[in-house]
Amino acid sequence: MNKAHFLWVDDEIDLMKPYILFLEEKGYRTDAATNGSDALDMCREKRYDIIFLDEQMPGMSGLQILSWLNTAYPDLPVVMVTRSEDEGIMEQAIGRRITDYLIKPVNPNQVLLSIKKILDKKELIAERAAVSYREAFAWIAEEMDRCSTAGDWMALYRQLVYWELELERTAHPLIEMLEQQKSEANKVFGRFIKRNYEEWMVVPTARPLISPELFEKTLFPLLERGEKLFFILIDNFRLDQWLTVKDIVSKQFDSHDELYFSILPTATPYARNAIFSGLMPRRIEELYPELWVEEGDEAGMNLHEEELINRQLQRFGIKKSISYHKISSNREGERLTARLPALLKNDLNVIVFNFIDMLSHAGTESKMIRELTADESAYRSLTRSWFLHSPLYTLLEAIATNGGKVVLT
């Protein structure tokens, strides 16, 4: 016998008896009520796992009962089972956070499916994810040995990140097996980089897209087509973090993602200067010695980013209006969003958000931050929370409302 306990509320409860008997055969206990008043009293006396609720009843309507349940028991799933196909009622029910909506006459298996979606969804998804990952495990291990190009490694990395997020969502113990596989992949990838990196530096046709080519191959073609762009760089932002917030961004933008390789060292002063200058660090020092700061002065190594962007545009003969902004606090982000009407007049707006990089550095100095980001899952969760409540999210919403285009990295 299942432990799940339901309450079915319908003024024509006798017509619902076949469904109640069907659920009892499946091991579920179901109480019945014929009106809202009795239903509310029963909810006060017992704990129910799901309420099945008719909309059209004498006295309190189903929507009125739903409002009371939302207030008293906000986490209690409610399934509306009604003859009403009125779109307005459906919208009201959805707006009041109805869990599911079934239209009479209902097939008993529809009711069972609704129950499984509500009560067993997490377990079913976890079970399916575990089976699928076990099937993928051998393929990933074999692919590690076969990877011979940058494209191979990007595809494998996408797979590893996909499974990491899938298993994390279900808190499945197989995540430990994946972490071991990911660790092994890092070692093999390190050997791949050691074999190929120097050649990439001297033979451009042999390499994947790298940091210094990002503007040339991604932004400049769009600018030359007359697009007005926002280039937003979130320092220390990884693919797994992007996928953690992608669903939020996709509500405002049609999006697609591509991967590129950072130069070495991947540290901010080198990789970010390479992006904005379109040059390797040594070449920056040769061409613009006045803009290059020696390695010991890390705090000053990103002080000339706006000028490096302008120099890169000049080298490629691109004459566009640009602005550059570095955001290190919410107040700065809010001020920038307030200036959006002016920014929209520019051809290119380059914006750097430092929060995630600041967070990673704080983790080495602050015990509280270390506890908040104890593992990769916690780090991603904190990233998503920051993103949702950050001025960056507000800025993206405003850009989308005004039809702007964004390149985010």
Beta strands in 34-107 (DSSP E): 50-53, 78-82, 100-103
Predicted pLDDT of residue 270: 92
Kindly tell me if the per-residue pLDDT of 362 is higher than 80: no
43 touches 20 (CB < 8 A)? no
Residue 233, phi-psi category: left (phi > 0), alpha (psi -120 to 50), beta (remainder): beta
The distance of Cα 226 from the centroid of its chain, to the nearest Å, equals: 30
Kindly tell me if the per-residue pLDDT of 360 is higher than 80: no
- Whole-model pTM? 0.80
Q: Which residue has the tokens 């595809």?
A: 155
Please give the Cα distance from 269 to 194 (Å, whole number). 22
233 touches 275 (CB < 8 A)? yes
Percent of the chain predicted with pLDDT > 70: 93
pLDDT digits (tens, 9 = 90+) for 219-244: 999 999 999 999 999 988 899 999 99
Predicted pLDDT of residue 171: 76
Which pair of tokens denotes residue 156?
A: 């494998």
Which residues, including other chains, have CB under 8 Å from residue 13's CB and lie 6 or more apart?
32, 33, 34
Predicted pLDDT of residue 25: 93
Please give the Cα distance from 201 to 150 (Å, whole number). 14
Residue 278, phi-psi category: left (phi > 0), alpha (psi -120 to 50), beta (remainder): left
CA angle 210, 213, 217 (to 5 degrees): 120
Q: Which contiguous run of DSSP H or E holds residue 15?
A: helix 13-25
Which pair of tokens denotes residue 359?
A: 């967070």
N- to C-terminal Cα separation, the chain: 52
Closest Cα to residue 264, out of 198, 359, 312, 188? 198
Confidence of residue 298 (pLDDT cuts 50, 70, 90): low
Q: What is the mean pLDDT of residues 386-405?
A: 94
260 touches 216 (CB < 8 A)? no
Higher pLDDT, 67 or 314: 314
Predicted pLDDT of residue 75: 87
Predicted pLDDT of residue 179: 94
Q: 3-state DSSP call for residue 22? A: helix
Confidence of residue 353 (pLDDT cuts 50, 70, 90): very high
Beta-bridge mates of residue 52: 8, 79
Predicted pLDDT of residue 294: 66
**Which amino acid type is present at position 253?**
F
Closest Cα to residue 280, out of 199, 210, 193? 210
**Which amino acid type is present at position 366?**
S
pLDDT digits (tens, 9 = 90+) for 5-32: 999 999 999 999 999 999 999 999 999 9
Please give the Cα distance from 241 to 254 (Å, whole number). 18
The distance of Cα 76 from the centroid of its chain, to the nearest Å, equals: 26
How large is the angle between the packed helices 13-25 and 108-115, nearest 10 degrees? 60
118 touches 99 (CB < 8 A)? yes
Q: What does the H/E/C string look like for 71-122?
A: HHCCCCCEEEEECCCCHHHHHHHHHCCCCEEEECCCCHHHHHHHHHHHHHHH
Which pair of tokens denotes residue 251?
A: 């509500």
Predicted pLDDT of residue 74: 86
Please give the Cα distance from 87 to 107 (Å, whole number). 21
pLDDT digits (tens, 9 = 90+) for 162-195: 999 989 887 778 889 999 999 999 999 999 999 9
Percent of the chain predicted with pLDDT > 90: 67
Please give the Cα distance from 261 to 274 (Å, whole number). 12
List, in order of start, the domains of the chain with CATH numbers: 5-106 (3.40.50.2300), 121-204 (no CATH), 209-408 (no CATH)
Which pair of tokens denotes residue 100?
A: 């599911």
Please give the Cα distance from 197 to 339 (Å, whole number). 42
Kindly tell me if the per-residue pLDDT of 365 is higher than 60: no
4 touches 119 (CB < 8 A)? yes
How large is the angle between the packed helices 239-249 and 150-170, nearest 10 degrees? 70
Choice among 57-66, 76-85, 132-141, 289-298 with the minimum mean pLDDT? 289-298
